[in-house]
Amino acid sequence: MSIEDPWRPFQEIMEAPWEWARSWKQKTGRKVIGHLLPDVPEEIIHAAGALPMAVEGAGVQIGQAQAHIPGYTCSHAMGAIEMGMTGKLDVLDGMVIPYVCDTTRNLFHIWNRCFPHMSNEFLRLPKRIDYPEARDYLCVEFTRLLSSIAEITGKKAGPDEVARSSLLYDKSRKLLRDAYRMQQERPALWTQEKVQLLFASALRAPREEHLTWMEALPWDQEEVDCQVRIPIYVKGKVWDPPGILSLFDKLGLLVVSDEIVTGFRLAAIDVGLNGNPIESLAQRYISLTPYPGYHMEPDMLIQGFLNRVVKSGAAGVVFINPKFCEAAGFEMPDFQKALGETGIPSLILETSSRSASMEQIRLRLEAFRELLSGDLP
């Protein structure tokens, strides 16, 4: 791997993540466990001695999946099945699917039928994260997941291993947050596309190696940047279509904060070990920005969102909603109404690899940019 260009290791893994995992597996003789986003605790998979690999279905061109899953399924779930059917995921020894919505609940059963050779786990996340019982429930569920993964890997794993993995992941999250800050301070060098490369590869590379690559980045490099950028806030599931961040870079739209599960949300909160490591892990999960599909008191949900947007200083909000995602659709009218009453413009992009056109998205973003520029002093 080239050491001359410090960004190259991140690019290499993202150019061929499954091939990369295959050669890692051959080299180490260890297991690779896939997980569907969001909120599967990677620390648990790592503690049990396996490599956690995020499975992201958005952006995958669909050929075979529609024979196995209804056509009105979001790209994220449909793309995951497609990758499995086309052999991309053969390297996986197991797969963890979280319960975040009806789609993932049904996907788990379909997955078991399509890929019985994998050890498949359904992570039953609580729907009401604001209930005090959620934390205790999660501790039991995370402990169960740890034993299941340890059975696949054959490695004994308990609280000490979880603590060690949590420390490693916290260290990595700190550097990812630093990179996100660089994106705000030096956006010409630390472009949004490049910073997202760091986040996306963290979900695929062995975290120890990823940390070493992160430390070698040009943290001290100064930049001269004359481009005017408009601060925006983004809410959605993943950066879909892939390439949308480079579009933001080109259009001078700067994401000052986001709730994307492969974006800032990934690094926003540490485990911050405090007593029992599983309890600390559960606490981290409960403290995360709520994902669409989790249930909360509507007023609390809307006010929390509004506070985050206002605090970020964004001039506008872009919603990236996966087509057919009911969870995101349910929340939308309330969020838009609240933003409208506060005088913050917003734009909804409904994305799907089966229908999204990058050109349409570019045009809509350009128009939104013009609207926001007019609002600037």
Is residue 97 within 8 Å of residue 107, measured between CB atoms?
yes
Quote the least distance from Cβ 129 to ligand SF4, whole Å. Answer: 15
Q: Which is nearer to ligand SF4, 187 or 292 (CB)?
A: 292
Q: Which is nearer to ligand SF4, 74 or 315 (CB)?
A: 74
Q: Where are the alpha helices (DSSP H) in 5-68?
A: 8-15, 17-28, 42-47
In the numeric block, the tokens 């005017």 are attached to: 228
Task: Give backbone dihedrals phi and psi of 154, rounded to 5 degrees, phi first.
Answer: 75, 15
Q: Which is nearer to ligand SF4, 81 or 92 (CB)?
A: 81
Quote the least distance from Cβ 196 to ligand SF4, whole Å. Answer: 18
Is residue 81 within 8 Å of residue 60, measured between CB atoms?
no
Quote the least distance from Cβ 151 to ligand SF4, whole Å. Answer: 26
Q: In the structure encoding, which two tokens stand for residue 209, read together?
A: 């190696």
Quote the least distance from Cβ 55 to ligand SF4, whole Å. Answer: 11
Quote the least distance from Cβ 147 to ligand SF4, whole Å. Answer: 26
Quote the least distance from Cβ 240 to ligand SF4, whole Å. Answer: 9
Spatial distance between the Cα atoms of 186 and 252, rounded to a whole number of angstroms:
13
Q: Which is nearer to ligand SF4, 52 or 57 (CB)?
A: 57
Is residue 370 within 8 Å of residue 345, measured between CB atoms?
no
Is residue 92 within 8 Å of residue 24, measured between CB atoms?
no
Q: Which is nearer to ligand SF4, 176 or 327 (CB)?
A: 327
Q: Which is nearer to ligand SF4, 108 or 213 (CB)?
A: 108
Q: Which is it for the CA torsion 87, 89, 91, 94, positive or negative?
A: negative
Closest by CA to 260, choosing from 238, 243, 240, is 238
Quote the least distance from Cβ 83 to ligand SF4, whole Å. Answer: 15
Quote the least distance from Cβ 116 to ligand SF4, whole Å. Answer: 22
If 0-12 CB within 10 Å is exposed, 13-18 middle and 19+ buried, where does residue 367 land? Answer: exposed
Spatial distance between the Cα atoms of 321 and 312, rounded to a whole number of angstroms:
20
Q: Which is nearer to ligand SF4, 39 or 279 (CB)?
A: 39
| Residues of the shown chain interacting with ligand SF4 in the complex, contacts defined by CB under 6 A | 74, 76-77, 100-101, 103-104, 237, 292-293, 322, 325, 327-328
Q: How many other C-beta atoms are found inside a 10 Å radius of the C-beta of residue 9? A: 20
Quote the least distance from Cβ 89 to ligand SF4, whole Å. Answer: 17
Q: Which is nearer to ligand SF4, 62 or 344 (CB)?
A: 62
Q: Which is it for the CA torsion 260, 261, 266, 271, positive or negative?
A: positive
If 0-12 CB within 10 Å is exposed, 13-18 middle and 19+ buried, where does residue 317 land? Answer: buried
In the numeric block, the tokens 């998979």 are attached to: 45
Q: Which is nearer to ligand SF4, 74 or 314 (CB)?
A: 74
